[in-house]
Amino acid sequence: MRNTWAVCWREFKSYFITPVGYIIVGTYAVISGLGFTASFIWHARSTQSPMDYQFEGVPNLEEFFLSPYLVFCGQLMLFIGPLITMRLLAEERNRGTIELLLTHPLRDREIILGKYFASLLVALVLMVVVAAHLSTLLYHTNVEPAVLLLGLCAVFLVSASFLSMGLFISALSRNQVTAATVTFAAWFVMFILGNLATDLPEVGDVMDEIPPTLQAVAVPAYSVFRAAALELPMDAHAAEMAQGVLRPQDLAYYFLTIAFFLFLTFRAFETRKWRA
Amino acid sequence: MARVRIIAGIVAVVAIVAALNVWAIYGEFLRAPVVGLLVLGGVAAIGAFFMTIILASDKIERGRTLFGLNAIIGVVVFLGICIVLFALVRRSDSEWDLTQEGRRELSEQTVRVLERLDNDVTAFALFVDHGDSMSAQTKNKTLRFLERCQLHTPHLIVKVIDPLAEQARLRELQLTVASNIGTVALRSGTRQRLIPIAEVTSRLEERDFANALINVSRDAVPKVYFLTGHGEKDITNSDPKDGASHFAQLLKNESYALETLELNPTNPVIPSDCDVLIANGPEADFRSREIRAIDNFAANGGRMLVLLDIWGGVDTSGGRSEYLRPWLKATFGVEVGIDVIMQGGQQPSPELPLMSDFGSVLDESSPDVELRGSFNGQHPITAGFGQTMVLILGRTVKRSTSVPDHVSAVEILHTTPNTWAETDLVRFREGKVVPDPSETVGPIPVAVASSSVNPIAAGEGSVTRDARIVVVGNRSFTNNERINIQSHRNFILNTMAWLTEQPDLIAIRPTGAEDQPILLSQGQERWVAYFSSLGIVQIVALVGIAVFILRRNLR
């Protein structure tokens, strides 16, 4: 654990002794800040004249502002995450420092987990930025604590999932730009395909189109395919949590996603042993 | 075989890409070309993979291939484990709603109404199973809420019906579906109320449920007359600013029967079945005969709600007498000022927030009455108020210094301390208001509730009930745009309940998924924009510069 922490701290420091960390945090602060300002002022005005904004009564703060804003903060990782993960392993390979790292008495898991935890620490810094935005909200009105806390947890879990996938892609690549581009593209494709999948008809609606002889195989296969496609966007499970509703399936989704991509990273990292 | 392997690999890639293209073009996944191409692609890929293993020429290459195969199998197995675990967790379908709404007990008023139920009320919960999580969650939330209600009464019976699967039952019960996402129908005897669940909030609002319950369980239906003929706001007009149709609907939802009343100029009479007479923003003064009719109504224990805008009853030019304001003062000890209350500050505003949290002060006119911020903490109408009301263009309405002996008048609403009553309406129309030392400063009373026992009638024993009136120096909070603000609704409904002597209906009503208005001044908006968009970024930049300088110095 001490080695993991040493790798983590070294990696975390490397973000903030160069301008990279500040650019990442600054960019995130600008985008999330503009989103916060626009949506909070819009919401405040809509509470004063609900009918002008097509509401019948005063819109609920948590449902119409806080939860969507927190989900938006999670989705921002789609753009910011590749900047965090691109350097984790790809940079080490590109600069040739991976060999130096491997000469240390470190296990693969200590290196991978150390780097992953470092990226999580950067995500925590980004959460501090979100918390700073929300502090202005707390100054003006009362906020439902469950929505606030679970919403922040949702943002963190979405970020952690994105980062685990980014780490895996970084482990496959030698070039930082390639790693960032592929990570962004992969997340984006998952996001788009997952949203397209909502148009897929339900099993009951397509039964007539499948020949009876194939139904025994095709129907379960289609069900699994549809269910899997609907799970593709990583922010899909954040919406409920950001509403203050805790569902074990949402937690399981994020923890299993993180575990799966970390497992892939281990496998990708150990290929050096048998590819050479 | 090597060539076959290459061809199989190319075929696999081309077939899968073609399948995705065909799916995208036709928009249907289950078409023969899409499925066929996917199957072809899958078979070609598997073939190419096995040929790679077979074709491995030496031990090293075979070893690499086997390691690769091992990695792939490991990944597939791990993915399978993850999917199975996720499917198992998902099957449990449990959830914990940790929000205030999910945790909280029912509101005081809902509990009171439930506990008063004498007859059975059946709640038909009509939910179509769309197979998605939202409809399932809406149904679960609604049923959990109804279960909580059942804890307070044995008379609430809940029946769940799927409108698609049980259409015959639906017809038999003569129920209709009012919302795609779900409908709750409350029925008691011959009375029924449908509560459509709004798609925006996807939940059964406690407020709607409580209203519907009052409606189906209420024995008496108080009759309310809205006066017309003096420029009062039309209860059929749906205009956001000038209409009062939502105000009327609000009262109908609580089982008030509504009528409009235009008094006959030659022989004005208030109908004997009138329980409450409402003058909603009259723009002209009443005539003397009308005042006599209203006075007669009050003398017989009549009840009135008068909402007066700043323009109402101030035109005394040309030697005309004024009737309404003097009558209010003489009969009920209510003095209505000719002024407009402004909120001070850099830019004076006619928007008056009434709040409970600017400290307790003693009412100067009645030192024994404690005000909680803007609200009278002891009067039944405002006793439980903790919500923010917003009046626009209010006028002073205060307890007269000379209140008749048989009258009890109480100021129930006050403005905040940073307000003043601008008496120069000409200057106000020109937009040049400035506080004058001679003008009254806040907290300024803007509403009075008064009751009067007619001494003669009471003495004869023919009339036992007192006359009651509530006068508010503003009507903006009842227009369509603003009546839906929770605090405004509560104030009006509490007032109506006090006027009709239904104390069990005076309560802070359940809020549902709604909030208090967030009042941001222009300065506060600028501060939010500055801090969130620029302030935090500058802090990040400063930290970066500090770290850079610190590191350079350490070097």
| pLDDT digits 0-9 by tens, A72-112 | 898 888 888 888 988 888 888 888 887 788 788 888 888 89
C-alpha distance from A29 to closest chain B C-alpha (Å): 6
B369-415: per-residue pLDDT in tens? 566 788 888 888 887 777 788 888 889 999 988 888 888 888 989 88
Mean pLDDT computed over B421-432: 80
**Nearest residue, CB atoms, A256 vs list B86, B480, B482:** B86
Q: Does A267 touch chain B (CB under 8 A)?
A: yes
Three-state SS string across A9-46, please?
HHHHHHHHCCHHHHHHHHHHHHHHHHHHHHHHHHHHHH
- B-facing residues of A in 94-113 (CB < 8 A) are none
**Nearest residue, CB atoms, A47 vs list B64, B515, B551:** B515
Reply yes or no on whether the pLDDT at B445 is more than 70.
yes
CB A32 within 8 A of CB A155: no
pLDDT of residue B359: 52
Confidence category of residue B131, pLDDT binned at 50, 70, 90: low
Q: Do B64 and A274 touch (CB under 8 A)?
A: yes
Reply yes or no on whether the pLDDT at B510 is more than 80.
no
Most confident of A20-29, B162-171, B475-484: A20-29
A19-48 and A2-16 are packed helices; what angle lies between their axes, rounded to 10 degrees? 80
Q: Do A247 and B514 touch (CB under 8 A)?
A: no
Residue B487 has, within 13 A of its CA and on its CB side, a CA count of: 24
Distance CA B281, CA B309 (A): 6
Distance CA B478, CA B488 (A): 7
Q: Where are the domains of chain B?
A: 2-92, 105-213, 222-338+390-415+438-505, 525-555
C-alpha distance from A25 to closest chain B C-alpha (Å): 7
Q: Where are the domains of chain A?
A: 2-275
pLDDT of residue A160: 93
Q: Do A132 and B29 touch (CB under 8 A)?
A: no
Between B72 and B179, the more confident residue is B72
Mean pLDDT computed over A193-214: 70
- For B442, the enclosing helix (H) or strand (E) is none
Q: Are strands B340-343 and B419-422 parallel, antiparallel or unpaired?
A: antiparallel
Rounded to whole angstroms, what are the CA distances from B270 to B226, B265, B278, B302, B333?
A: 11, 12, 12, 9, 22
| SS3 of residue A258 by DSSP | helix
C-alpha distance from A86 to closest chain B C-alpha (Å): 21
**Nearest residue, CB atoms, A51 vs list B75, B240, B533:** B240
Mutate to test the interface with B, among A70, A139, A149, A247 (most CBs of B within 10 A): A247
Between A29 and B240, the more confident residue is A29
Residues in chain A within 8 Å Cβ distance of B75: 263-264, 267
Lowest-pLDDT range of A5-14, A72-81, B30-39, B302-311:
B30-39
Q: Does A36 touch chain B (CB under 8 A)?
A: yes
Mean pLDDT computed over A209-238: 76
pLDDT of residue B49: 79
Contacts of A95 (CB under 8 A, 6+ apart): none
Q: What helix, strand, coil percent values describe chain B, rounded to 5?
A: 40, 20, 40
Of B142, B133, B160, B237, which is closest to residue B198 (Cα–Cα)? B142
Q: Does B537 touch chain A (CB under 8 A)?
A: yes
| SS3 of residue A51 by DSSP | helix
- For B187, the enclosing helix (H) or strand (E) is strand B183-188
Q: Do A29 and B540 touch (CB under 8 A)?
A: yes
Judge whether B105-213 and B222-338+390-415+438-505 match in fold.
Answer: no
pLDDT of residue B200: 60
C-alpha distance from B29 to closest chain A C-alpha (Å): 8
Confidence category of residue B361, pLDDT binned at 50, 70, 90: very low
pLDDT of residue A120: 94
Confidence category of residue B427, pLDDT binned at 50, 70, 90: confident
Between B68 and B232, the more confident residue is B232
| Mean pLDDT score across all residues of chain A | 84
**Nearest residue, CB atoms, B547 vs list A16, A146, A244:** A16
Q: Does A254 touch chain B (CB under 8 A)?
A: no
Q: Do B133 and A240 touch (CB under 8 A)?
A: yes
**Nearest residue, CB atoms, A63 vs list B79, B131, B513:** B513
Q: Do B515 and A61 touch (CB under 8 A)?
A: yes
Q: Do A133 and B532 touch (CB under 8 A)?
A: yes
- A-facing residues of B in 104-163 (CB < 8 A) are 131, 133, 137
Fold for B105-213, please state it: Glutaredoxin (3.40.30)
**Nearest residue, CB atoms, A260 vs list B79, B94, B103:** B79
Q: Does domain B222-338+390-415+438-505 have CATH number 3.40.50.880?
A: yes
Q: Do B71 and A51 touch (CB under 8 A)?
A: no
- A-facing residues of B in 51-70 (CB < 8 A) are 63-64, 67
Lowest-pLDDT range of A251-260, B318-327, B529-538:
B318-327
pLDDT of residue B379: 85
Confidence category of residue B362, pLDDT binned at 50, 70, 90: very low
Q: Does B75 touch chain A (CB under 8 A)?
A: yes
Q: Do A246 and B390 touch (CB under 8 A)?
A: no
Reply yes or no on whether the pLDDT at B464 is more than 60.
no
Q: Do A60 and B74 touch (CB under 8 A)?
A: no
Q: Does A69 touch chain B (CB under 8 A)?
A: no
Reply yes or no on whether the pLDDT at B463 is more than 50.
no
Reply yes or no on whether the pLDDT at B286 is more than 80.
yes
Q: Does B553 touch chain A (CB under 8 A)?
A: no
C-alpha distance from B442 to closest chain A C-alpha (Å): 23
Total Cβ atoms within 10 A of residue B103: 11
Confidence category of residue B506, pLDDT binned at 50, 70, 90: low
Mean pLDDT computed over B447-462: 69
Residues in chain A within 8 Å Cβ distance of B525: 41, 44
C-alpha distance from A216 to closest chain B C-alpha (Å): 15
CA-based R_g, chain B, Å: 35
| Mean pLDDT score across all residues of chain B | 80
pLDDT of residue B19: 87
Q: Is the dihedral of CA B28, B34, B39, B45 positive or negative?
A: negative
Reply yes or no on whether the pLDDT at A59 is more than 50.
yes
Closest-CA residue in chain B for A197?
B29
Distance CA A40, CA B525 (A): 9
pLDDT of residue B391: 87
Residues in chain A within 8 Å Cβ distance of B522: none
Inter-chain CB pairs, A–B, below 8 Å: 178
**Nearest residue, CB atoms, A252 vs list B86, B390, B516:** B86
What pairs with residue B159 in β-bridges?
B124
Residues in chain A within 8 Å Cβ distance of B529: 37, 41
Closest-CA residue in chain A for B353?
A48
Contacts of A247 (CB under 8 A, 6+ apart): A237, A240, A241, B94, B95, B96
Residues in chain A within 8 Å Cβ distance of B98: 146, 150, 244-246
Q: Does A256 touch chain B (CB under 8 A)?
A: yes
Distance CA A22, CA B540 (A): 7
Distance CA B154, CA B250 (A): 28
Total Cβ atoms within 10 A of residue A211: 7
Mutate to test the interface with B, among A18, A28, A51 (most CBs of B within 10 A): A51
Confidence category of residue A123, pLDDT binned at 50, 70, 90: very high
